[in-house]
Amino acid sequence: MDERLTVAMPKGRIFSDALDLLKEAGLKLPRELAQDSRKLRVEAPVEDLSFLLVKPVDVPTCVEHGVADLGVVGKDVLMEEERDVYELLDLQISPCRLSLAGKPDWQPVLNPKVATKYPRIANRWFREQGQQVEVICLNGSVELAPLTGLADRIVDIVSTGQTLQENGLVELQEITRVTSRLIANRASYRLKSRRIDKLSERLARVVTGEGVLR
């Protein structure tokens, strides 16, 4: 049985933290597994691993469809995408929060417009708050929305707070805390459970500070 594992890695904010974690777990990885690499599939023959470098939002898609056995992805993307995958481990890397933000002088209006990359999460959260809003879906530079009048408020990731600050916006309310997770394809988890458990355990030991398992 083919025991090689394919791992979907998210290019962008999480990538270097995820790579550091894999290295800390003692995995011997090729140099070409790097954020700035144009190569989209990287083999790590020593570990019998194959990596796919994809957009964060595409990690759960690759894992659900089984082109990757495993994936590293932020809880924000996982919550938004609602894919049928196993969440194996909280890797506790790239911590940030998903928050409601806006201009400091914002006055309540009826049916405010909220710009976000997370329409499902935002719609659900506002519904739970009993607030009616119009959600406007953007794919990036969400902080521009309140500055240009496209939206009254935003729901977006806040990490250092620098993007909000540099655009004269303030965090109004935290919606949820976010860290990155290890996810698995359901069939892979059954068919390759030995290898997946071993890799997951190696990562878990780094996360909990128990030391490297080789």
What is the closest distance, in whole angstroms, from the C-beta atom of residue 97 to ligand PRP in the complex? Answer: 9
129/165 with CB nearer ligand PRP: 165
179/200 with CB nearer ligand PRP: 179
Long-range contacts of 110-113 (CB under 8 A, 24+ apart): 112/151, 112/152, 112/153, 113/145, 113/150, 113/151, 113/152, 113/153
Quote the CA–CA distance of 211 and 93 in Å, as a whole number: 17
Interaction site with ligand PRP (CB under 6 A): 12-13, 140, 142-143, 156-163
What is the closest distance, in whole angstroms, from the C-beta atom of residue 200 to ligand PRP in the complex? Answer: 25
Q: Longest Cα pair distance anywhere in the chain, in angstroms?
A: 62
Per the CB < 8 A criterion, the answer to whether 60 and 73 are in contact is yes
Residue 163 phi/psi, 5-degree rounding, is -65, -45
111/162 with CB nearer ligand PRP: 162
One-letter amino acid of 85:
V
Tokens 């969400």 correspond to 142
What is the closest distance, in whole angstroms, from the C-beta atom of residue 111 to ligand PRP in the complex? Answer: 24
Burial degree of 74 (CB within 10 A; 0-12, 13-18, 19+): buried
What is the closest distance, in whole angstroms, from the C-beta atom of residue 115 to ligand PRP in the complex? Answer: 11
What is the closest distance, in whole angstroms, from the C-beta atom of residue 121 to ligand PRP in the complex? Answer: 13
17/197 with CB nearer ligand PRP: 17
What is the closest distance, in whole angstroms, from the C-beta atom of residue 46 to ligand PRP in the complex? Answer: 31
13/113 with CB nearer ligand PRP: 13
Q: What are the C-alpha distances in Å from 8 to residues 18, 19, 50, 59, 60?
A: 11, 12, 9, 6, 9
Q: Which helix (H) or strand (E) holds 100?
A: strand 96-102
26/161 with CB nearer ligand PRP: 161
